Copies of this chain bind each other. A is one copy, B any other.
Protein backbone atom coordinates (compact mmCIF):
# COMPACT_ATOMS: atom_id res chain seq x y z
CA UNK A 1 0.00 0.00 0.00
CA UNK A 2 2.18 2.79 -1.30
CA UNK A 3 1.56 6.19 0.26
CA UNK A 4 -0.32 4.69 3.17
CA UNK A 5 2.54 4.35 5.61
CA UNK A 6 0.99 7.20 7.55
CA UNK A 7 -1.92 4.98 8.59
CA UNK A 8 0.52 2.68 10.25
CA UNK A 9 -1.45 2.54 13.49
CA UNK A 10 -4.54 1.25 11.72
CA UNK A 11 -2.61 -1.30 9.79
CA UNK A 12 -0.54 -2.64 12.66
CA UNK A 13 -3.19 -2.79 15.35
CA UNK A 14 -5.34 -5.86 15.95
CA UNK A 15 -8.99 -6.01 14.92
CA UNK A 16 -10.14 -5.88 18.55
CA UNK A 17 -8.02 -2.82 19.23
CA UNK A 18 -9.32 -1.14 16.11
CA UNK A 19 -12.93 -1.90 17.01
CA UNK A 20 -12.49 -0.58 20.54
CA UNK A 21 -10.79 2.56 19.27
CA UNK A 22 -13.37 3.07 16.58
CA UNK A 23 -16.32 2.81 18.91
CA UNK A 24 -14.71 5.45 21.15
CA UNK A 25 -14.03 7.73 18.19
CA UNK A 26 -17.53 7.22 16.76
CA UNK A 27 -19.11 8.11 20.07
CA UNK A 28 -17.01 11.24 20.67
CA UNK A 29 -17.24 12.60 17.15
CA UNK A 30 -21.01 12.07 16.95
CA UNK A 31 -21.46 13.72 20.28
CA UNK A 32 -19.19 16.67 19.46
CA UNK A 33 -19.99 17.07 15.77
CA UNK A 34 -21.69 20.47 16.06
CA UNK A 35 -18.95 21.92 18.23
CA UNK A 36 -16.25 20.59 15.89
CA UNK A 37 -17.90 22.01 12.80
CA UNK A 38 -18.30 25.36 14.53
CA UNK A 39 -14.64 25.41 15.60
CA UNK A 40 -13.53 24.58 12.08
CA UNK A 41 -15.52 27.46 10.62
CA UNK A 42 -14.26 29.90 13.16
CA UNK A 43 -10.86 29.50 11.57
CA UNK A 44 -12.34 30.48 8.20
CA UNK A 45 -14.33 33.37 9.56
CA UNK A 46 -11.14 34.73 11.12
CA UNK A 47 -9.65 35.01 7.63
CA UNK A 48 -10.77 38.08 5.67
CA UNK A 49 -10.71 36.49 2.23
CA UNK A 50 -12.58 33.39 3.34
CA UNK A 51 -15.07 35.23 5.50
CA UNK A 52 -16.18 37.02 2.34
CA UNK A 53 -16.41 33.72 0.53
CA UNK A 54 -18.51 32.22 3.31
CA UNK A 55 -20.91 35.14 3.34
CA UNK A 56 -23.19 33.37 0.88
CA UNK A 57 -25.86 31.48 2.79
CA UNK A 58 -26.02 28.59 0.35
CA UNK A 59 -22.29 28.07 0.78
CA UNK A 60 -22.38 28.26 4.52
CA UNK A 61 -25.24 25.80 4.89
CA UNK A 62 -23.84 23.40 2.36
CA UNK A 63 -20.29 23.49 3.71
CA UNK A 64 -21.39 22.93 7.29
CA UNK A 65 -23.41 19.98 6.16
CA UNK A 66 -20.52 18.62 4.06
CA UNK A 67 -18.00 18.99 6.85
CA UNK A 68 -20.30 17.18 9.27
CA UNK A 69 -20.75 14.35 6.79
CA UNK A 70 -17.01 14.22 6.14
CA UNK A 71 -16.23 14.01 9.85
CA UNK A 72 -18.73 11.24 10.45
CA UNK A 73 -17.40 9.33 7.44
CA UNK A 74 -13.84 9.63 8.78
CA UNK A 75 -14.71 7.70 11.90
CA UNK A 76 -16.04 4.84 9.80
CA UNK A 77 -12.68 4.56 8.04
CA UNK A 78 -11.49 1.02 7.54
CA UNK A 79 -8.23 0.76 5.59
CA UNK A 80 -8.85 -2.89 4.86
CA UNK A 81 -12.28 -2.42 3.35
CA UNK A 82 -13.25 0.75 1.54
CA UNK A 83 -9.94 2.57 1.34
CA UNK A 84 -10.23 3.39 -2.34
CA UNK A 85 -13.63 5.00 -2.02
CA UNK A 86 -12.25 6.94 0.95
CA UNK A 87 -9.26 8.11 -1.07
CA UNK A 88 -11.36 9.13 -4.06
CA UNK A 89 -13.60 11.18 -1.81
CA UNK A 90 -10.68 13.15 -0.30
CA UNK A 91 -9.19 13.81 -3.72
CA UNK A 92 -12.55 15.05 -4.94
CA UNK A 93 -12.79 17.46 -2.01
CA UNK A 94 -9.29 18.77 -2.68
CA UNK A 95 -10.23 19.41 -6.30
CA UNK A 96 -13.39 21.30 -5.34
CA UNK A 97 -11.41 23.40 -2.86
CA UNK A 98 -8.91 24.26 -5.59
CA UNK A 99 -11.69 25.28 -7.96
CA UNK A 100 -13.31 27.46 -5.33
CA UNK A 101 -9.97 28.86 -4.22
CA UNK A 102 -10.52 27.82 -0.60
CA UNK A 103 -7.16 28.29 1.13
CA UNK A 104 -5.76 24.87 1.93
CA UNK A 105 -3.81 26.13 4.93
CA UNK A 106 -7.10 27.08 6.60
CA UNK A 107 -8.43 23.57 5.98
CA UNK A 108 -5.29 22.20 7.59
CA UNK A 109 -5.58 24.59 10.50
CA UNK A 110 -9.25 23.73 11.04
CA UNK A 111 -8.54 20.01 11.10
CA UNK A 112 -5.68 20.40 13.57
CA UNK A 113 -8.18 22.15 15.81
CA UNK A 114 -10.62 19.26 15.37
CA UNK A 115 -7.89 16.76 16.24
CA UNK A 116 -6.98 18.65 19.41
CA UNK A 117 -10.59 18.88 20.53
CA UNK A 118 -11.30 15.22 19.80
CA UNK A 119 -8.12 14.10 21.55
CA UNK A 120 -9.02 16.19 24.56
CA UNK A 121 -12.50 14.65 24.76
CA UNK A 122 -11.24 11.11 24.23
CA UNK A 123 -8.67 11.56 27.00
CA UNK A 124 -11.24 12.86 29.46
CA UNK A 125 -14.04 10.47 28.52
CA UNK A 126 -11.71 7.47 28.32
CA UNK A 127 -10.33 8.22 31.77
CA UNK A 128 -6.81 8.27 30.30
CA UNK A 129 -6.86 4.54 29.60
CA UNK A 130 -4.39 2.90 27.16
CA UNK A 131 -7.24 2.39 24.69
CA UNK A 132 -7.92 6.12 24.77
CA UNK A 133 -4.34 6.70 23.59
CA UNK A 134 -4.88 4.21 20.86
CA UNK A 135 -8.07 5.97 19.74
CA UNK A 136 -6.32 9.34 19.62
CA UNK A 137 -3.46 8.03 17.51
CA UNK A 138 -5.80 6.29 15.08
CA UNK A 139 -8.07 9.30 14.70
CA UNK A 140 -5.06 11.58 14.06
CA UNK A 141 -3.71 9.21 11.43
CA UNK A 142 -6.98 9.05 9.55
CA UNK A 143 -7.45 12.81 9.59
CA UNK A 144 -3.85 13.31 8.45
CA UNK A 145 -4.29 10.79 5.68
CA UNK A 146 -7.41 12.56 4.45
CA UNK A 147 -5.70 15.96 4.60
CA UNK A 148 -2.69 14.60 2.76
CA UNK A 149 -4.78 13.30 -0.12
CA UNK A 150 -6.82 16.47 -0.18
CA UNK A 151 -3.75 18.75 -0.17
CA UNK A 152 -2.09 16.84 -2.98
CA UNK A 153 -5.21 17.11 -5.14
CA UNK A 154 -5.54 20.75 -4.17
CA UNK A 155 -2.00 21.45 -5.28
CA UNK A 156 -2.39 19.85 -8.69
CA UNK A 157 -5.64 21.73 -9.16
CA UNK A 158 -4.06 25.03 -8.15
CA UNK A 159 -1.10 24.36 -10.43
CA UNK A 160 -3.32 23.58 -13.38
CA UNK A 161 -5.18 26.80 -12.79
CA UNK A 162 -2.00 28.84 -12.52
CA UNK A 163 -0.82 27.35 -15.78
CA UNK A 164 -4.02 28.23 -17.63
CA UNK A 165 -4.04 31.71 -16.15
CA UNK A 166 -0.49 32.34 -17.29
CA UNK A 167 -1.26 31.01 -20.76
CA UNK A 168 -4.32 33.26 -20.94
CA UNK A 169 -2.31 36.27 -19.88
CA UNK A 170 0.36 35.66 -22.49
CA UNK A 171 -2.17 34.95 -25.24
CA UNK A 172 -3.97 38.14 -24.35
CA UNK A 173 -0.66 39.99 -24.66
CA UNK A 174 -0.06 38.23 -27.96
CA UNK A 175 -3.16 39.72 -29.59
CA UNK A 176 -1.18 42.54 -31.21
CA UNK A 177 -0.08 44.63 -28.30
CA UNK A 178 0.54 47.77 -30.36
CA UNK A 179 -2.99 47.71 -31.71
CA UNK A 180 -4.30 47.27 -28.18
CA UNK A 181 -2.30 50.25 -26.96
CA UNK A 182 -3.63 52.55 -29.67
CA UNK A 183 -7.19 51.29 -29.21
CA UNK A 184 -7.10 52.09 -25.53
CA UNK A 185 -5.47 55.44 -26.05
CA UNK A 186 -8.34 56.23 -28.42
CA UNK A 187 -10.92 55.00 -25.90
CA UNK A 188 -9.41 57.28 -23.26
CA UNK A 189 -9.45 60.27 -25.62
CA UNK A 190 -13.00 59.53 -26.74
CA UNK A 191 -14.26 59.62 -23.19
CA UNK A 192 -12.45 62.84 -22.21
CA UNK A 193 -13.66 64.37 -25.46
CA UNK A 194 -17.25 63.53 -24.51
CA UNK A 195 -16.79 65.26 -21.15
CA UNK A 196 -15.55 68.42 -22.83
CA UNK A 197 -18.44 68.29 -25.32
CA UNK A 198 -21.01 68.04 -22.55
CA UNK A 199 -19.37 71.02 -20.81
CA UNK A 200 -19.78 73.01 -23.97
CA UNK A 201 -23.49 72.41 -23.67
CA UNK A 202 -23.90 69.82 -26.38
CA UNK A 203 -27.25 68.34 -25.41
CA UNK A 204 -26.66 64.99 -27.11
CA UNK A 205 -23.88 64.21 -24.63
CA UNK A 206 -25.05 63.34 -21.14
CA UNK A 207 -23.13 65.34 -18.58
CA UNK A 208 -20.94 63.75 -15.93
CA UNK A 209 -20.37 60.42 -17.68
CA UNK A 210 -18.73 58.09 -15.19
CA UNK A 211 -15.09 57.46 -16.10
CA UNK A 212 -15.08 54.07 -14.39
CA UNK A 213 -18.04 52.89 -16.47
CA UNK A 214 -16.55 54.11 -19.77
CA UNK A 215 -15.05 51.58 -22.19
CA UNK A 216 -11.60 52.65 -21.00
CA UNK A 217 -12.59 52.19 -17.35
CA UNK A 218 -13.98 48.75 -18.08
CA UNK A 219 -10.86 47.80 -20.00
CA UNK A 220 -8.61 48.80 -17.11
CA UNK A 221 -10.54 46.63 -14.68
CA UNK A 222 -11.31 43.61 -16.84
CA UNK A 223 -8.51 43.36 -19.39
CA UNK A 224 -5.52 45.37 -18.26
CA UNK A 225 -5.64 43.61 -14.91
CA UNK A 226 -5.03 40.34 -16.77
CA UNK A 227 -2.44 41.73 -19.17
CA UNK A 228 -0.34 43.63 -16.67
CA UNK A 229 -0.92 41.46 -13.63
CA UNK A 230 0.26 43.07 -10.45
CA UNK A 231 1.78 46.16 -12.05
CA UNK A 232 1.76 49.08 -9.59
CA UNK A 233 1.08 51.39 -12.57
CA UNK A 234 -2.36 49.82 -12.85
CA UNK A 235 -3.22 50.76 -9.29
CA UNK A 236 -2.15 54.31 -10.00
CA UNK A 237 -4.42 54.50 -13.04
CA UNK A 238 -7.34 53.04 -11.09
CA UNK A 239 -6.73 55.59 -8.37
CA UNK A 240 -6.74 58.45 -10.89
CA UNK A 241 -9.99 57.17 -12.43
CA UNK A 242 -11.64 57.15 -9.02
CA UNK A 243 -10.31 60.62 -8.30
CA UNK A 244 -11.73 61.98 -11.56
CA UNK A 245 -15.11 60.37 -10.87
CA UNK A 246 -15.47 61.45 -7.26
CA UNK A 247 -13.60 64.76 -7.03
CA UNK A 248 -13.20 66.33 -10.43
CA UNK A 249 -16.28 65.48 -12.50
CA UNK A 250 -18.81 66.69 -9.88
CA UNK A 251 -17.20 70.16 -9.86
CA UNK A 252 -16.07 70.59 -13.41
CA UNK A 253 -17.48 73.60 -15.21
CA UNK A 254 -16.54 75.77 -18.15
CA UNK A 255 -16.85 78.79 -15.89
CA UNK A 256 -14.07 77.46 -13.66
CA UNK A 257 -10.90 77.18 -15.73
CA UNK A 258 -9.00 75.65 -12.79
CA UNK A 259 -11.30 72.63 -12.79
CA UNK A 260 -10.52 72.09 -16.45
CA UNK A 261 -6.78 72.24 -15.79
CA UNK A 262 -7.12 69.64 -13.06
CA UNK A 263 -9.15 67.40 -15.34
CA UNK A 264 -6.63 67.67 -18.16
CA UNK A 265 -3.74 67.00 -15.81
CA UNK A 266 -5.29 63.69 -14.71
CA UNK A 267 -5.97 62.61 -18.27
CA UNK A 268 -2.38 63.41 -19.29
CA UNK A 269 -1.09 61.48 -16.34
CA UNK A 270 -3.16 58.44 -17.30
CA UNK A 271 -1.95 58.65 -20.90
CA UNK A 272 1.60 58.71 -19.61
CA UNK A 273 1.06 55.73 -17.28
CA UNK A 274 -0.69 53.77 -20.03
CA UNK A 275 2.29 54.26 -22.29
CA UNK A 276 4.69 53.08 -19.59
CA UNK A 277 2.51 50.06 -18.89
CA UNK A 278 2.73 48.87 -22.47
CA UNK A 279 6.42 49.68 -22.72
CA UNK A 280 7.26 47.65 -19.63
CA UNK A 281 5.22 44.70 -20.88
CA UNK A 282 7.01 44.69 -24.21
CA UNK A 283 10.36 44.56 -22.44
CA UNK A 284 9.62 41.83 -19.94
CA UNK A 285 7.41 39.61 -21.98
CA UNK A 286 9.48 38.50 -24.90
CA UNK A 287 11.59 36.26 -22.70
CA UNK A 288 14.87 37.52 -24.15
CA UNK A 289 17.19 40.34 -23.26
CA UNK A 290 16.60 42.95 -26.02
CA UNK A 291 20.27 43.95 -26.21
CA UNK A 292 21.93 40.55 -26.43
CA UNK A 293 19.09 38.28 -27.54
CA UNK A 294 20.09 35.87 -24.80
CA UNK A 295 17.47 34.30 -22.52
CA UNK A 296 15.97 36.14 -19.58
CA UNK A 297 17.49 34.98 -16.32
CA UNK A 298 14.07 34.25 -14.83
CA UNK A 299 13.87 31.11 -16.99
CA UNK A 300 17.10 29.72 -15.58
CA UNK A 301 15.43 27.66 -12.79
CA UNK A 302 13.00 26.22 -15.36
CA UNK A 303 15.71 25.24 -17.82
CA UNK A 304 18.35 24.07 -15.36
CA UNK A 305 15.83 22.22 -13.18
CA UNK A 306 14.55 20.39 -16.23
CA UNK A 307 18.00 19.59 -17.63
CA UNK A 308 19.20 18.30 -14.27
CA UNK A 309 16.32 15.90 -13.97
CA UNK A 310 16.78 14.77 -17.60
CA UNK A 311 20.45 14.21 -16.93
CA UNK A 312 19.70 12.30 -13.75
CA UNK A 313 17.14 10.10 -15.48
CA UNK A 314 19.10 9.37 -18.65
CA UNK A 315 22.57 9.37 -17.11
CA UNK A 316 23.76 11.92 -19.69
CA UNK A 317 26.33 14.59 -18.76
CA UNK A 318 25.48 18.27 -18.34
CA UNK A 319 27.74 21.29 -17.94
CA UNK A 320 27.48 24.96 -17.18
CA UNK A 321 29.77 27.85 -18.18
CA UNK A 322 29.81 31.15 -16.36
CA UNK A 323 31.32 33.83 -18.59
CA UNK A 324 32.25 37.26 -17.25
CA UNK A 325 33.82 40.05 -19.28
CA UNK A 326 37.10 41.39 -17.88
CA UNK A 327 37.39 45.06 -16.96
CA UNK A 328 33.97 45.86 -18.40
CA UNK A 329 33.60 48.90 -16.20
CA UNK A 330 36.66 50.45 -17.81
CA UNK A 331 35.07 50.10 -21.26
CA UNK A 332 31.96 51.91 -20.03
CA UNK A 333 34.00 54.60 -18.30
CA UNK A 334 36.39 55.26 -21.17
CA UNK A 335 34.10 54.90 -24.19
CA UNK A 336 30.60 55.45 -22.79
CA UNK A 337 27.54 53.26 -22.51
CA UNK A 338 26.90 52.78 -26.24
CA UNK A 339 30.36 51.21 -26.45
CA UNK A 340 29.54 49.01 -23.48
CA UNK A 341 26.36 47.89 -25.22
CA UNK A 342 28.29 47.09 -28.39
CA UNK A 343 30.71 44.96 -26.38
CA UNK A 344 27.87 43.08 -24.70
CA UNK A 345 25.98 42.33 -27.90
CA UNK A 346 29.17 41.33 -29.73
CA UNK A 347 30.15 39.00 -26.88
CA UNK A 348 26.71 37.42 -26.91
CA UNK A 349 26.97 36.92 -30.66
CA UNK A 350 30.35 35.21 -30.32
CA UNK A 351 28.92 32.93 -27.64
CA UNK A 352 25.78 32.12 -29.63
CA UNK A 353 27.87 31.33 -32.71
CA UNK A 354 29.91 28.80 -30.76
CA UNK A 355 27.19 26.81 -29.01
CA UNK A 356 24.65 24.43 -30.52
CA UNK A 357 21.01 25.30 -31.17
CA UNK A 358 20.00 23.10 -28.24
CA UNK A 359 22.21 24.86 -25.67
CA UNK A 360 20.83 27.70 -23.58
CA UNK A 361 22.53 31.09 -23.18
CA UNK A 362 21.29 33.39 -20.40
CA UNK A 363 22.12 36.97 -19.59
CA UNK A 364 23.00 36.28 -15.97
CA UNK A 365 24.14 39.69 -14.80
CA UNK A 366 25.36 42.99 -16.21
CA UNK A 367 28.37 41.60 -18.07
CA UNK A 368 27.88 37.97 -17.15
CA UNK A 369 26.46 35.14 -19.25
CA UNK A 370 25.49 31.66 -18.12
CA UNK A 371 25.54 28.84 -20.67
CA UNK A 372 23.80 25.50 -20.15
CA UNK A 373 25.44 22.85 -22.32
CA UNK A 374 23.14 19.84 -22.68
CA UNK A 375 24.63 16.34 -22.90
CA UNK A 376 28.11 17.78 -22.58
CA UNK A 377 30.86 16.33 -20.39
CA UNK A 378 33.33 18.45 -18.44
CA UNK A 379 36.19 18.00 -20.93
CA UNK A 380 34.01 19.09 -23.86
CA UNK A 381 32.71 22.02 -21.85
CA UNK A 382 36.27 23.01 -21.01
CA UNK A 383 37.27 22.87 -24.68
CA UNK A 384 34.27 24.98 -25.66
CA UNK A 385 35.07 27.53 -22.95
CA UNK A 386 38.61 27.76 -24.35
CA UNK A 387 37.21 28.29 -27.84
CA UNK A 388 34.89 31.05 -26.69
CA UNK A 389 37.71 32.73 -24.75
CA UNK A 390 40.02 32.61 -27.78
CA UNK A 391 37.34 33.80 -30.20
CA UNK A 392 36.65 36.78 -27.98
CA UNK A 393 40.29 37.88 -27.93
CA UNK A 394 40.37 37.59 -31.73
CA UNK A 395 37.31 39.75 -32.34
CA UNK A 396 37.93 43.50 -32.23
CA UNK A 397 34.84 45.57 -31.42
CA UNK A 398 34.48 49.08 -32.80
CA UNK A 399 33.59 51.45 -29.99
CA UNK A 400 33.98 54.74 -31.82
CA UNK A 401 34.26 55.99 -35.40
CA UNK A 402 37.95 55.19 -35.60
CA UNK A 403 38.62 53.12 -32.53
CA UNK A 404 38.16 49.44 -31.85
CA UNK A 405 39.07 47.44 -28.76
CA UNK A 406 39.58 43.83 -27.80
CA UNK A 407 37.88 42.40 -24.76
CA UNK A 408 38.70 39.28 -22.80
CA UNK A 409 36.58 37.11 -20.57
CA UNK A 410 37.09 34.86 -17.57
CA UNK A 411 35.16 31.60 -17.63
CA UNK A 412 34.17 29.13 -14.92
CA UNK A 413 33.23 25.58 -15.94
CA UNK A 414 31.18 23.18 -13.82
CA UNK A 415 29.84 19.74 -14.65
CA UNK A 416 26.72 18.34 -13.03
CA UNK A 417 27.70 15.81 -10.42
CA UNK A 418 24.40 14.47 -9.15
CA UNK A 419 23.28 17.12 -6.69
CA UNK A 420 19.61 17.79 -7.37
CA UNK A 421 19.71 21.48 -6.47
CA UNK A 422 20.47 23.59 -9.51
CA UNK A 423 21.89 26.33 -7.30
CA UNK A 424 24.63 23.94 -6.30
CA UNK A 425 25.73 23.74 -9.95
CA UNK A 426 25.54 27.51 -10.46
CA UNK A 427 27.57 28.10 -7.33
CA UNK A 428 30.23 25.67 -8.52
CA UNK A 429 30.54 27.52 -11.85
CA UNK A 430 30.58 30.81 -9.99
CA UNK A 431 33.40 29.67 -7.70
CA UNK A 432 35.40 28.54 -10.74
CA UNK A 433 34.80 31.92 -12.39
CA UNK A 434 35.99 33.65 -9.24
CA UNK A 435 39.16 31.54 -9.30
CA UNK A 436 39.69 32.50 -12.97
CA UNK A 437 39.45 36.18 -12.00
CA UNK A 438 41.87 35.65 -9.12
CA UNK A 439 44.15 33.88 -11.50
CA UNK A 440 44.65 36.99 -13.60
CA UNK A 441 41.58 36.93 -15.88
CA UNK A 442 41.30 35.90 -19.57
CA UNK A 443 41.42 32.25 -18.60
CA UNK A 444 39.25 29.22 -17.95
CA UNK A 445 38.99 27.37 -14.63
CA UNK A 446 37.13 24.11 -14.07
CA UNK A 447 35.21 23.66 -10.80
CA UNK A 448 37.13 21.56 -8.31
CA UNK A 449 40.47 22.76 -9.70
CA UNK A 450 40.23 26.18 -8.08
CA UNK A 451 42.69 25.53 -5.30
CA UNK A 452 45.36 24.44 -7.72
CA UNK A 453 44.97 27.36 -10.08
CA UNK A 454 48.03 29.38 -10.81
CA UNK A 455 49.45 31.10 -13.82
CA UNK A 456 50.55 27.68 -15.00
CA UNK A 457 47.58 25.42 -14.38
CA UNK A 458 44.99 27.87 -15.69
CA UNK A 459 44.83 28.15 -19.41
CA UNK A 460 45.41 31.36 -21.36
CA UNK A 461 47.57 34.34 -20.57
CA UNK A 462 46.83 36.89 -17.95
A219-B358 CB under 8 A given contacts A108-B148, A112-B6, A137-B120: yes
A299 sits at the interface (CB 8 A): yes
Of A72-80, A153-161, A250-258, A321-329, which stretch is located at the interface? A153-161
The B-contacting residues of A in range 177-218, CB under 8 angstroms, are 183, 213, 215, 218
From the candidates B5, B47, B100, B215, name the one contacting A357 in the complex (CB within 8 A): B215
Mask: chain A, 78-100; 1 = CB below 8 Å from B; 0 = not = 00000000000000000000011
Q: How many copies does the complex hold?
A: 2
When A109-B5, A305-B101, A310-B222 are in contact, do A130 and B123 touch as well, CB less than 8 Å? yes
Assess the A59–B6 pair: CB atoms within 8 A.
Answer: no
Known pairs A133-B123, A215-B358; A140 contacts B113 (CB<8 A)? no
Nearest to A309 among chain B residues (CB) is: B101
Residue-by-residue, is A304-339 near B (CB-CB < 8 Å gives 1, otherwise 0)? Answer: 011101101110000000000000000000000000
Whole-angstrom CA separation of A164 from B140 in the bound complex = 37
C-alpha gap A166/B165 in the complex (Å):
10
Judging by beta carbons under 8 Å apart, are B116 and A140 in contact?
yes
Question: Is the CB–CB distance between B226 and A306 below 8 Å?
Answer: yes
Given contacts A158-B155, A222-B310, contact A46 B5 (CB under 8 A): yes
Give, as a whole number of angstroms, the nearest-CB distance from A381 to chain B: 15
Q: Cβ of A291 < 8 Å from any Cβ of B?
A: no
Contact with B along A342-373 (1 / 0, CB 8 A): 00000000000000111000000000000000
* B116 and A218 form a contact (CB under 8 A): no
0/1 per residue, A210-245, Cβ < 8 Å to B?
Answer: 000101001101110110000000000000000000
State which of B164, B307, B419, B420 has its C-beta within 8 Å of the C-beta of A298: B164
Considering the complex, which residues of chain A in the window 140-155 have a beta carbon less than 8 Å from any beta carbon of chain B?
140-141, 144-145, 147-149, 151-152, 155
A287 in contact (CB, < 8 A):
yes
Given contacts A302-B165, A303-B168, A305-B101, contact A108 B374 (CB under 8 A): no
Question: A319: shortest Cβ distance to chain B, in Å?
Answer: 13
User: Please, how many angstroms separate the alpha-carbon atoms of A452 and B334 in the complex?
Assistant: 84
Q: Which residues from 408 to 422 on chain A have a C-beta closer than 8 Å to any C-beta of chain B?
A: 418-422
Which of chain B's residues have a CB closer than 8 A to the CB of A286? Answer: 171, 174
A115 at the interface (CB under 8 A from B): yes
B222 touching A374, Cβ below 8 Å? yes
A141 contacts B163, C-beta separation under 8 Å: no
A2 within 8 A of B: yes
Asked whether A128 and B119 contact (CB < 8 A) given A99-B421, A166-B166, A302-B161, the answer is no
- Which of chain B's residues have a CB closer than 8 A to the CB of A52? 312-313
Minimum distance in angstroms from A89 CB to a CB of chain B: 17
Residues of B within 8 A of A171 (CB): 170, 286-288, 299
* A43 close to B (CB within 8 Å): yes
B100 touches A119 (CB 8 A): no
Contacting A301 at CB < 8 Å: which of B8, B164, B305, B422? B164
Confirm or deny: A451 has a beta carbon within 8 angstroms of a beta carbon on chain B. no
Nearest B residue to A422, CB-CB: B99
| Proximity string of chain A (46-75) to chain B, C-beta cutoff 8 Å, 1 when within and 0 when not | 110000110110110000000000000000
Q: What's the least CB distance linking A161 to chain B, in Å? A: 7
Q: Fill in one digit per residue for A100-142: 1 if any B CB lies within 8 Å of its CB, else 0.
A: 1100110011001101100110010000111011001100110
Q: Is A375 an interface residue (CB 8 A)?
A: yes
Known: A56-B420, A161-B302, A307-B222. A9 touches B116 (CB 8 A): yes
Question: What 10 A-B pairs have minimum CB-CB distances, sorted nearest first?
Answer: A171-B287, A6-B112, A123-B133, A112-B144, A218-B358, A166-B166, A6-B109, A105-B152, A56-B418, A108-B148
16 contacts between A and B (CB under 8 A): A5-B113, A6-B112, A8-B113, A53-B420, A101-B420, A119-B136, A120-B133, A128-B128, A128-B129, A128-B132, A159-B159, A163-B163, A163-B166, A166-B167, A170-B171, A172-B287
